[in-house]
Structure formats: C-alpha cells, structure tokens
Amino acid sequence: MATTYNNPKITQRIREPLFQVNRVRFRGSRESQCENLETNFLQLDLTRILNELESIDIDILNKLSYLIGEPADVTNAVNLNDGLTYSIDDVNIFIDKDGSVEEALEIDVMNKISSKLSRLLNKIQRLENGN
C-alpha cells in the first residue's frame, strides 16, 4: 500500500466472506460433504481475518519504526550511522524545488530530531549569553 496517499478504491471496497448462507439444508439430505464445506469456509474466513489483523499489527510496528526508530544491535559498539533516518522506497520529495531535482523521502526518527533540537537549544543559549 502506498505511504503518502490512500487509494479510494481500496478504502471503499466492500468485502464478502467465503462462508455462504444455505437456507435449504434441512430440505435436502444431511450430507457430511455439505457440513464440511460450511465448516471449511468458516475456518478459511476466520484465518483470513486473523491474518489481516496480524498484518495490521506488523504494519503498525513498521510505521512506528519510521518515526521512532528500530532497536539497535547492542551486542557490540552500536553503529549509530544507521537507523536514524529512514528512506521510504520509491517515494521522492520536492521541497522548494521546481521539479528538476528530486530527493528520496527520508524521515528522521524522534531521537534524531530530539538531537537536533538539543544542539539548537545549546547554541541559542550560548548566543543569548553572548558566548
């Protein structure tokens, strides 16, 4: 799914289960095949819903990672050059540009923004104190 827009066609999609309402069951013969089909459809539907919910769960974590960052490997010295800024695949951004130069869409994680703010606050304090 796209990151910077939402496709209305997907938003408006109405989805129907595989499970079918069979109102004639008691009029015909009670066959196991029919019972099993019903149960199988129900099971398939429930599995699909579960998978979709799990997929949303993972999606939430992935999206949070863009904003907050991912856990670092702390076993050895942490490589801090990585993981502070995320590039989102196939998305570019034009800021104050006429369209001739493009930049990959890079997102600074919270720690990096905090870091920049912290540095700025120190410098402003120094300027205020005339140092």
Partner 1 sequence: MAINMADILNTKKRDYQYNGPVESSDYNERVEENYKDLVYLYNKSNIIDNKLSQAFERVIKDHKFLSSAVEDLTNRVSALEATSNTISLHSFSQIDYSTLVGSSFAVSGTELLSFDPIYNTISLPKVSSGSFSKLKFTSPTAGQVVPEFFKAKIDTNFAGVDGNGAVIDTTPIYNAILDAPDKVWKRNVIVESTSMAGAQMMLYVKIPAEAAGSLKTNMIKINPYPAFGVDLVSIEYSSKQNPALADSDGWTPLNKKAYYDGTTEAIGKVPPGGWSTTGADTIRNCPPVAFTFPDTDITAIRIKFIQRNYFTELGKAIYTYGLSDLDIRYEKFLSTGRTIIKFTAPDGDVIENVTNVTPKIYNVPSSLISSAFSYRIIYNDSGTYTLSNPGASNSVWIEVTLNMLDDKTAPVLTDLIINYE
44-103: contacts with partner 1 (CB under 8 A): 45, 48-49, 52-53, 55-56, 59-61, 63-77, 79-81, 84, 93, 95
Span 9-28, contacts to partner 1 by CB under 8 A: 10-11, 13-17, 19-23, 25-27
DSSP 113: H
Phi then psi dihedrals of residue 83, to 5 deg:
80, 5
Nearer to partner 1, 40 or 111 (CB): 111
DSSP assignments along 28-66, one per residue: S---HHHHHHHHHHHHHHHHHHHHHHHHHHHHHHHHHHH
Task: Give which of 1, 13, 3, 10 is closest to 93, Cα–Cα.
Answer: 3
Shortest CB 23 distance to partner 1, Å: 5
CA angle, corner 14, sides to 9 and 17, nearest 5?
140
Pick 81 or 100: Cβ nearer partner 1: 81
Binding mask of the shown chain, residues 107 to 126, with x at each position contacting partner 1 by CB under 8 A = xx-xxxxxxxxxxxxxxxxx
Which one, 40 or 49, has the nearer CB to partner 1?
49
